[in-house]
Amino acid sequence: MTERVVLAGADGTAIGTALKSEVHTTATALHFAFSAWVTCQGKVLITRRALGKQTWPGVWTNSFCGHPGPGESTTDAVIRRAEFELGIPANALSNLRVVLPDFSYRAVDSSGLVENEICPVYCVELDSQAQWQPHPDEVDTWEWVYPANLIAAADSLPAVFSPWMCEELAEPELRAALQSQAH
């Protein structure tokens, strides 16, 4: 699958596209992405990135991430990536909402590759009866954890997790959204 990402100007407007396979380098251009958190029965899904991933292989992170394609809404991209990355069908998701609409970050992994993204953060609920299976090229391992435990772990040991996950979890709005699912 040839996937394109949408490049962004400093003002947050689309300025072109690039191949996803070529955009993440040591000088990654600013581009649009999203980050998603899946909740179910009071817990949140965290995933360990597959060892073959280009950036942050084997690192624990939020449920899944991705990039909206040219002309694709971010909401549609979230649903598409939930199915591709986690094997979750659209009809098993509910209450999809953007929690951090203006989140962005820049991070450099140990190999020197850069993430440089305008990355709104979404939460979505999974039907507890849903059948799903993560794609092995995307996800190595996964765990359902209580939000309060995850927040404490990210606060105490941020080096164990992806930098974007820790930055997202530092935001009060996301903490509140995840913890509201635990009650």
- State yes or no: 135 annotated in a binding site: no
Does the annotation count 123 as an active-site position? Answer: no
- Structure confidence by residue, pLDDT tens digits, 26-40: 999 999 999 999 999
List residues bridging with 155 in a β-sheet: none
Q: pTM for this structure?
A: 0.95
- State yes or no: 24 annotated in a binding site: yes
Distance CA 5, CA 150 (A): 30
Q: Which pLDDT belongs to residue 104?
A: 97
- Structure confidence by residue, pLDDT tens digits, 118-176: 999 999 999 999 999 999 999 999 999 999 999 999 999 999 999 999 999 999 999 99
Does the annotation count 65 as an active-site position? Answer: yes
Number of compact structural domains in the chain: 1
- State yes or no: 183 annotated in a binding site: no
Q: Which range marks the domain in which residue 12 is found?
A: 4-180
Identify the CATH number of the domain in which residue 146 sits. Answer: 3.90.79.10
Distance CA 14, CA 22 (A): 18
List residues bridging with 38 in a β-sheet: 124
Q: Which pLDDT belongs to residue 2?
A: 81
